[in-house]
Amino acid sequence: MPDAPDSLLEAPPCASDPAQESLVLESLPKEPAFRHSRLQRLADRWSHLLFLACGLLVVALIGGILYFLAARGVGAFMPLAGNTDKILTLKEVFLSTDWDPNSGKFGILPFIAGSLSVTGLALLIAAPAGILTGVFIAKLAPGWMKTLMRQVMDLLVGIPSVVYGIFGLMVVLPWVSGKWLSDSPAAGFAVSAAILAVMIVPTIVSLSTDAFESLPLTLEEGSQALGSTRWQAIWHVLIPAARPRLLTATVLGLGRAIGEAMAIQMVIGNNPQWIALMRQSTDQTPILRFLFTPAATLTTELVQELPNTAAGSTWNNLLFAMGLLLYLMTMLIILATRRLGRQRNA
């Protein structure tokens, strides 16, 4: 075997030279034990492109939604082709509370404020309730209760928003106005937020249950070994430890809440002039007026007015701009959860 070291020494230059390489390959046994048919090999080589195309379609959709909403929404602020209607300035749209499209007033501040108010109120209920229920399911509930709670949350998340809406309309509104408001209509932020809270709580519960379940058991054991009660362990150790994920859960709940349209539209009262109305009336304390004045949000106003406006009008374009605003908020929310996720890993 005197030749062996030589050929080994020569191996590197061989590999870099294609002609030599094929020579080496051909010196291997000619026929592999098993070969797929030509069709199989082609399919295997190219099929991933098909799968990739499906993935790229999703990417294209994200861009497409942005493009088409922007193309229409921008029409309210810029003279685009075929747009002969009124051109608005950013100031009179985003900094005005006056919404009266028929007399050319297009301030969307009431809707932004409405969306933020109803979402904020809903989170005020849903975030603590959801996180505490999460800790209950993960750490305190016996097995059967865990299963039961999971099923309850599955059902709550599966109920369609119009059914939540009709429940609010037929059950909650009459009950609230009969019980507390001496029969004045109860439409407004309070009832909308309460219904919204029930709609988003399953999201927060399931994500925070996961968060608590993924914490190392040693945290809890260590805390209890130091003499803490279970609640002290939960409050001082587990909740702080799970905080980034709990925040993610809350932010995703926020995302669901801000985009919800139909359920709120059915109970909020759909009054674009709610800020003015709230200022004028004096018959109740300010907080009650805030909670029970018929109002409107970005989403409810879209549902309410989109069917009644002509395509290409300033009014119509501005509604698409409001949709764009919602979409940008969604993106922001997703990016925020990303940020939180990275914090968690660091």
Partner 1 sequence: MPAAISYRPRRLSRVTDRVMRLALWGLALAFIAVLAVFVGAILKQGWPVLNLGFLTRMPETLDAGGGIKPEIFNSLYLVALSLAISLPIGLGAGIYMAEYAGQGRILRFLRLCIETLAATPSIVLALFGMIVFVQMMGWSFSIRSGAVTLALLNIPVITRVTEVSLLGVPRELKEASYGLGATRLQTILKVALPYAATGILTGLVLTAGRAFGESAILVFTAGTNTSQTFPDFRLTVPGETLSVHLWYVTSDGTLPDAREIAAGTAAVMIVVLLVLNLSVRLLDRFIRRRTR
In Å, how far are 30, 148, 150, 156 from 143, measured between CA atoms?
Answer: 62, 9, 11, 20
Radius of gyration of the chain (CA): 30
Query: Is 124 a residue that touches partner 1 (CB under 8 A)?
Result: no
Alpha helices, DSSP H, located in 230-313: 230-233, 239-241, 243-259, 262-267, 274-280, 286-292, 298-305
Query: How far apart (Å, rounded) are the C-alpha atoms in residues 154 and 336?
Result: 26
Q: Applying CB under 8 A, which part among 9-17, 87-95, 127-135, 276-284 lies near partner 1?
A: 127-135
In Å, how far are 66, 306, 339 from 63, measured between CA atoms?
Answer: 5, 23, 21
Angle 99-103-105 (CA atoms, 0-180°, nearest 5)? 35
The correct pick among 74, 113, 129, 288 for binding partner 1 (CB under 8 A) is 129
- In the shown chain, the binding pattern of residues 262 to 281 toward partner 1, with x for contact by CB under 8 A and - for none, equals x--xx---------------
- Residue 70's contacts (CB-CB under 8 Å, 6 or more residues apart) are 324
- Token pair of 54 as six digits: 């499906």
Query: Is 159 a residue that touches partner 1 (CB under 8 A)?
Result: yes
Query: How far apart (Å, rounded) are the C-alpha atoms in residues 294 and 307?
Result: 21
Q: Applying CB under 8 A, which part among 85-93, 126-134, 214-222, 271-279 lies near partner 1?
A: 126-134
Query: Is 154 a residue that touches partner 1 (CB under 8 A)?
Result: yes
Least Å from the CB of residue 301 to partner 1: 10
Is the Cβ of residue 20 or residue 161 nearer to partner 1 in the bound state? 161
Query: Is 173 a residue that touches partner 1 (CB under 8 A)?
Result: no
Query: How far apart (Å, rounded) are the C-alpha atoms in residues 251 and 247?
Result: 6
Burial zone of 232 (CB within 10 Å; 0-12 exposed, 13-18 middle, 19+ buried): middle
Considering only residues 17 to 46 of the shown chain, the ones binding partner 1 according to CB under 8 A are 34, 36, 40-41, 43-44
Least Å from the CB of residue 129 to partner 1: 6
Q: In 3D, which of 138, 275, 284, 133 has the Cα closest to residue 197?
A: 133
E strand or H helix at 296, and its extent? none
Under rule CB under 8 A, how many of the chain's residues touch partner 1? 90
Query: Is 136 a residue that touches partner 1 (CB under 8 A)?
Result: yes
Is the Cβ of residue 15 or residue 334 nearer to partner 1 in the bound state? 334
Q: Applying CB under 8 A, which part among 55-63, 92-100, 102-110, 177-185 lies near partner 1?
A: 55-63
Is the Cβ of residue 157 or residue 219 nearer to partner 1 in the bound state? 157
Residues 203/252, Cβ–Cβ less than 8 Å: yes
Considering only residues 90 to 119 of the shown chain, the ones binding partner 1 according to CB under 8 A are none
Residues 272/101, Cβ–Cβ less than 8 Å: no
Least Å from the CB of residue 319 to partner 1: 8
- Residue 169's contacts (CB-CB under 8 Å, 6 or more residues apart) are 266, 267
- In the shown chain, the binding pattern of residues 284 to 323 toward partner 1, with x for contact by CB under 8 A and - for none, equals ---------------x--xx--xx---x--------x--x
In Å, how far are 41, 72, 240 from 317, measured between CA atoms?
Answer: 52, 6, 46
Query: Is 133 a residue that touches partner 1 (CB under 8 A)?
Result: yes
Considering only residues 57 to 76 of the shown chain, the ones binding partner 1 according to CB under 8 A are 57-59, 61-62, 64-65, 68-69, 71-72
Considering only residues 325 to 344 of the shown chain, the ones binding partner 1 according to CB under 8 A are 326-327, 330-331, 333-334, 337-338
Query: Is 144 a residue that touches partner 1 (CB under 8 A)?
Result: no
Least Å from the CB of residue 162 to partner 1: 5
Is the Cβ of residue 256 or residue 289 nearer to partner 1 in the bound state? 256
Considering only residues 196 to 235 of the shown chain, the ones binding partner 1 according to CB under 8 A are 198, 201, 227-232, 234-235
Q: Applying CB under 8 A, which part among 12-20, 21-29, 116-124, 133-141 lies near partner 1?
A: 133-141
